[in-house]
Structure 1
Amino acid sequence: MDATVTKRWLLARLYEPEQIIVDCRFTLGKPQAGRDSYEEEHIPGAVYLDLELDLSSPVGGHGGRHPLPDPEVLAARLSKLGIGNDSRIVAYDDESGMNAARLWWLLRYLGHEQVFILEGGFSQWKAEKYPVTNHQPVRVPSTFEANVQPQMLVDVHKVQQISANMEPSASPTGLSSVLIDSRARERFLGQEETLDKRAGHIPGAFNFFWKETQNADGSFKNAEELQEHFSELDQDAEIIVYCGSGVTACPNVLALEKAGFKNVRLYAGSWSDWISYEENPVATGEE
């Protein structure tokens, strides 16, 4: 089954007991806005997970702006919400799927495959007259046991190694290891930076803006369209994906897997972690 589901698909299964719907709405710079929106109205039965309080660890000297949560801490939070190892999770947000994709990636990192993203997010759901409510469900706690998949992740040392061995290239075609920067073009080039202390990108990285994996309505492009989008990449290459803080990289991971790539890993700390090490070089422009 695809990693995304349609509104009609979810409506038909809205009250199935094994399913947990998770509202992941969050606005950077307005940390209470997502929860406020959830409390005002949400998809019936949905519980709420906060990007910074639940899906990240506290910020430290390294690890970036959204460090990964401790697996056991997240597992305990999921258990409290009634999410167990047999649950089917459908996540949504109102940010083109970037926060929902963070939860999608995290659950798979914890060994849970039954997790999906709602195409189009909450605003489309509401605009098309699907049901909403302000009732917050009472969930019976369950047991979620983490089975961490370390192969899905790389750390700064691995990225340093790949970057240092990268020869200047105009194309990733033929490369066995590829660094993909998921941020907007102007941030990649170092022309604009409003979130992090330094502008630019990891030397040797290639820019594939995460929003270009989606259609105008916020749904993900189909497998054939994504294969065309990533056609410069070799299917058997090791692909390391990063962004500013490890959040918007997740939709790119999903899109790459949807396009058939098998060896895709996340640099979770991303650019904000990279620049926390003074010795790490920074590239700007087209290199």
Structure 2
Amino acid sequence: MISSVVSAAWLHDHLDDPQVAIADCRFSLMQPTLGQEQYQAGHIPGAVYLDLNQNLSSPIGKHGGRHPLPDVAQLASRLSTMGVHSSPEPTLVVAYDDSRLAFASRLWWLLRYLGHDRVAVLDGGFAGWNTAGYPVTQAVPPPKAGTFVPRPNPDQVVNIEAVKARNGSSGVVLVDSREPERYRGEHEPIDPIAGHIPGAVNYPWQEVTDANGYALPLAAQRERWETVQSAEEILVYCGSGVTACANLLSLELAGIQTGKLYAGSWSDWCSYEKEKG
């Protein structure tokens, strides 16, 4: 079984493998067009750009958070044009970014949610690829004829009603993935209300990797979750359901299968709090 994290050397050796599809997931929350511009300036050969807002999320509504889960049919169509097959031999999708796995992990989680387990993130991201001296290109690959058949697993995601119903129950842990300052409510640069969901514990998503975007060793991933590893459910959220996926990747690396995404996350939660006045 392929690991959820692959090295630049491994990917370089498999650039011409027809069973491997590459997704460039670079993005900036503060500059939404930056990722596309970076892709056009140079990307890993064969990579197709997937935009967080356009491909990996749905339009924003009154509730549901800043990055609602994408339309399944539209994402399936996009993946098919990348040459991704669900069967008989599932394509391995390798996702990369330049944000310490934050956006690549969103695609990693989405594919697993849709029943496609052959997906990995690129350790060290695009910067690591460049540091290794591997080739980049500006050529956009032509569409391919893949057949991606989504099989969503609703057990991997929770909504605000489920969080309210289960929060505080025995065996349930609620994890806030944001920076400690945002968790404590000292600094809130994006959402209208500062703070965190009552009862949540803080596991900042940046701790999944080192400063250069390389995933910490498996022993360190296991150690991160040592105090909650026996929980029956670990409900994970962040600001909008994106960087929480890095923590879900970390849980997977640690061998913990009980993690679930609160897709709307804090931006969904505080949209209801705001209505209360």
TM category (shorter chain) comes to over 0.9
Matching residue of 1:221:
216
Matching residue of 1:243:
238
User: How far apart are the structure 1 equivalents of 2:7 and 2:275?
Assistant: 42
User: How far apart are the structure 2 equivalents of 1:234 and 1:91?
Assistant: 27
Q: TM-score by structure 1 length?
A: 0.91
Structure 2, gaps ≥5 residues long:
none
Shift of 1:87: 1.4
Matching residue of 1:52:
53
| Structure 1 residue ranges (4+ consecutive) displaced by more than 6 angstroms after TM superposition | none
Q: Which amino acid aligns with 1:270?
A: S
Q: Do structure 1's residue 197 and structure 2's residue 192 form an aligned pair?
A: yes
Q: Is the 8 A contact 2:193 2:274 kept in 1?
A: no
Shift of 1:203: 0.3
Higher deviation after alignment, 82-91 or 4-13: 82-91
Per-residue CA deviations over 1:220-262 (Å, capped at 9, x if unaligned) read 1122111211111132431000000000000100101211212
Q: Do structure 1's residue 121 and structure 2's residue 125 form an aligned pair?
A: yes
User: How far apart are the structure 2 equivalents of 1:143 and 1:238?
Assistant: 33
5 Å matches for 1:248-263? 248-263=243-258
Per-residue CA deviations over 1:190-247 (Å, capped at 9, x if unaligned) read 0000010000000000000011121233111122111211111132431000000000
Q: Is the 8 A contact 1:52 1:66 kept in 2?
A: yes
Shift of 1:134: 0.7
Q: CA RMSD in A?
A: 1.5
Structure 1, gaps ≥5 residues long:
167-174, 282-287
Matching residue of 2:172:
177
User: How far apart are the structure 1 equivalents of 2:248 and 2:71?
Assistant: 21
Matching residue of 1:29:
30
Matching residue of 2:269:
274
Higher deviation after alignment, 84-93 or 265-274: 84-93
Q: TM-score by structure 2 length?
A: 0.94
Higher deviation after alignment, 54-63 or 251-260: 251-260
3-state SS of paired residue (2:109):
helix
User: Identity of counterpart residues, as a percentage?
Assistant: 48
